[in-house]
Structures are given as structure tokens and as C-alpha cells.
């Protein structure tokens, strides 16, 4: 038995909800246009961090527009995962903790517009352990070269308490200050033989429109420490502040 009901409006009784159909019934609305309030989406609680099992409703163009869902785990993603940022003006340095782990083997750090308070200083790096302690013992080995105004400066330090990334940085905004990119390779595969090695390249603009190029590599062996390096510190050689600096660290997926 079928019947047809034609009305302009259905109003639920006061304090109740309107129910159409019973459990197991199918209500077909495909023959017309259904207008839904925007609060169906905007009225819900926002979720700011997605997990792989979260689902999105889609219309599948390959199946005549049939409704299907896609999980976050099905979506394409990039190779760089942002792990930490550090920005500031008039800061003494940046302690960036809890970035190195067994999750990633390769990391990338970008330093933008680094500018110290004082002139002619260097930017240095040290490791920090999982407890937040700064590793200042002589476990760093690095080589670095600076090309500037027709001159070449070479540096080689095989037992140092830091890694010097850039030198001759001035308190000037010419060319956007000092900018650097570093790649860290982190070995967590072999028990007590934890190690980090990396390389970098940097461009610096300073007074008198002089440009310089800095590049180098370093090796840090933390097998003699109580715990492996988990983070890093960036600071100036004279202990004074950065008047400005921006830092971002990414973990790179898919690295062998």
C-alpha cells in the first residue's frame, strides 16, 4: 500500500523532534533539491589536529556522484613535516627541544633574517639532550668556508664545544640579513653509537653591500653522553641578543 502526502510545512510538537520513517526504512530525497542549514557544519565542534582515521564525505565523479568517504590516511602528503618554529626579536637565543627522534632520519632547518644586536659576530649551534640540557663538551667537529669580497676564509675545528655556522654577521638589514639552510642526518640505528652529522649553506649581506657565502659540514658524536641529542640551541658568539631571527625545523619522510 502506498500513499502520497502533500503539505507545505511539518512542525514538530512542542519539545519534540520530528521523525520520518522507522529503523530499517529508506527515505529517498534524490528526486528533489534538499536545502540544509549551514549550521550542520559551522555549528559543530572544530577539530584542529587530524588523525589518519578521520573521514571526509565526497561525491565520487567516477561513480555517478555516489557518496563515499575518504580517510586522511588516503590523502597525499608532502615530504616535509613541520616540527618546530622559533621566532623573536631581541632574544638571547633559541632553544628548540624534542625534534630529533627515531621517527625521522633526515631533518631540515631554515634560518631566516638572522640579525644580531652587535656587529661582526657569529651564529653558533649546540645540541640539547632530552632533559633540556645543553651539550657544551668538546664533541663537535666541523669544517667551514666563507667566501667574501674576493677572499676565502677556511676553518677546521676537530674538537670544539659548538659548531660555528656563519661569521661576520652585522646588525644591518641589507639583503634581509643572514639566511641559512641545514640538513641533519640522525643515526639512531645502532645502540650506543648515536651520532648526528650535517651540512649547511648560507648567504649573508652586510655593510658596504658586501655579500658572503658560507658552507660547511659537522659531526657530533653523543655516544659518550648519558642520552642522545633531542634538540638544539642557536646563539651568538658574543652572548648578546638577536635583534631578529626566524627558525623552522622539518622532519623529512621517506628518507632511507
pLDDT profile of the chain (256 residues), mean per 10: 79 80 82 83 84 85 86 81 90 90 92 90 91 87 89 89 90 80 82 78 80 92 72 91 93 83
Q: What local confidence, expressed as pLDDT, does residue 213 receive?
A: 93
Q: Nearest 5°: CA angle at 236, between 240 and 152? A: 135
User: pTM of the predicted model, to two decimals?
Assistant: 0.74
Pairing of strands 163-169, 178-187: unpaired
Q: Say how far apart CA 106 and CA 189 lie, in whole Å.
A: 13
What is the C-alpha end-to-end distance of the chain, expressed in Å? 66
Helix (H) or strand (E) holding 234: strand 229-236
Q: Give the residue carrying C-alpha cell 557544519.
A: 41
8 Å CB contact between 198 and 185: yes
Using CA atoms of 95, 101, 103, 104 in order, give the dihedral in degrees to the nearest 10: 70
How many C-beta neighbours within 10 Å does residue 57 have?
8
pLDDT at residue 189, rounded to an integer: 59
Q: Which three cell numbers stand for residue 16?
A: 519534540
Distance CA 170, CA 168 (A): 6
- By DSSP bridging, strand 140-148 and strand 66-71 are unpaired
Q: Give per-residue burial for 130-140: e unless 16+ CB within 10 Å, then b.
A: eeeebbeeebb
Amino acid at each position: 500500500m502506498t500513499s502520497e502526502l502533500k503539505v507545505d510545512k511539518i512542525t514538530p510538537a512542542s519539545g519534540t523532534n520530528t521523525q520520518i520513517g522507522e529503523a530499517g526504512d529508506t527515505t529517498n530525497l534524490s528526486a528533489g533539491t534538499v536545502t540544509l542549514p549551514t549550521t550542520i557544519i559551522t555549528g559543530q565542534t572544530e577539530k584542529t589536529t587530524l588523525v589518519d582515521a578521520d573521514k571526509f564525505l565526497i561525491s565520487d565523479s567516477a561513480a555517478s556522484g555516489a557518496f563515499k568517504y575518504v580517510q586522511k590516511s588516503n590523502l597525499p602528503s608532502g615530504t616535509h613535516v613541520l616540527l618546530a618554529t622559533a621566532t623573536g626579536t631581541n632574544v638571547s637565543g633559541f632553544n628548540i627541544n624534542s625534534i630529533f627522534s627515531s621517527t625521522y632520519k633526515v631533518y631540515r632547518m631554515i634560518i631566516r633574517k638572522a640579525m644580531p644586536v652587535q656587529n661582526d659576530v657569529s651564529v653558533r649551534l649546540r645540541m640539547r639532550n632530552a632533559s633540556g640540557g645543553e651539550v657544551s663538551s668538546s664533541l663537535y667537529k666541523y669544517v667551514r668556508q666563507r667566501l667574501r669580497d674576493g677572499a676565502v676564509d677556511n676553518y677546521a675545528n676537530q674538537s670544539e664545544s659548538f659548531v660555528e655556522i656563519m661569521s661576520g654577521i652585522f646588525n644591518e638589514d641589507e639583503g634581509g640579513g643572514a639566511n641559512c639552510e641545514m640538513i641533519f642526518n640522525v643515526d639512531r640505528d645502532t645502540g650506543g653509537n648515536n651520532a648526528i652529522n650535517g651540512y649547511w649553506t648560507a648567504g649573508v649581506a652586510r655593510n658596504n653591500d658586501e655579500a658572503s657565502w658560507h658552507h660547511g659540514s659537522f659531526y657530533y658524536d653523543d655516544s659518550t653522553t648519558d642520552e642522545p641529542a633531542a634538540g638544539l640551541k642557536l646563539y651568538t658568539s658574543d652572548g648578546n641578543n638577536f635583534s631578529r631571527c626566524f627558525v623552522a625545523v622539518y622532519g623529512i619522510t621517506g628518507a632511507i
